[in-house]
Amino acid sequence: MVSAVTIRRAPVAATVEAMTTPAAVDDGYDGDDAMVADVFARDCSSRRIVENMAGKWGMLALAALHEGAYRFNALRRRVDGVSEKMLSQTLQGLERDGLVHRDVQATIPPHVEYSLTPFGERVAAKIVDLIELVQDEVNTTSAR
């Protein structure tokens, strides 16, 4: 049986700070009240971010943006199979959650480029590690 898991973290940005709530933690920690986010709680704001990021296209978009900035259509080609509508919704959610930066340059036609925020870079690095782990396992298993 899995017990409730809490994640102790120091706020690193306004978005991250907003997703944590003060709570007293009785885990041997001798400090003051810790900032705790419980992603298993329905009303935890960090849960929404995890759900958006772990959706069908979120992790792939973050992993692609970890390679560098992309314009919308180039990102859509990189994340093969995603529709224009779904990529747009995914990017809007990731931008709202503070993971992705949308840079609109006032040119004709408008030039929009997507990149990762510092928070997005840290999250994407973990996602890329996870993807590499899965790919290594698939390669090892299929080689048997």
The per-residue pLDDT string of the chain (144 residues; one tens digit each, 9 = 90 and over) reads 444 444 444 343 444 444 444 444 444 444 444 456 788 888 888 888 998 888 899 999 999 999 999 999 999 999 999 999 999 999 999 999 999 999 999 899 889 999 999 999 999 999 999 999 999 999 988 887
Which amino acid, 119? F
pLDDT at 36: 65
Asked if residue 22 has a cis previous peptide bond (ω within 30° of 0), the answer is: no
Task: Give yes or no: residues 34 and 66 share one domain.
Answer: no
Q: How far apart are CA 5 and CA 39, in angstroms?
A: 8
Alpha-carbon torsion, ordered 60, 62, 67, 73, to 10 deg: 70
Same domain, 40 and 76: no
- Please give the Cα distance from 47 to 37 (Å, whole number): 9
CATH assignment at residue 90 = 1.10.10.10
My answer on whether 30 and 95 are in the same domain is no
The range of the structural domain enclosing residue 104 comes to 54-142
Q: Is residue 40 domain-shared with residue 71, that is, in the same domain?
A: no
Shared domain check, 122 and 61? yes
Shared domain for 120 and 72, answered yes or no, is yes
Looking at the domain assignment, is residue 2 inside a domain?
Answer: no
Residue whose C-alpha is closest to residue 78's, from 97, 95, 94, 91:
91
Q: What is the pLDDT of residue 35?
A: 54
Lookup result for tokens 């790919």: 135
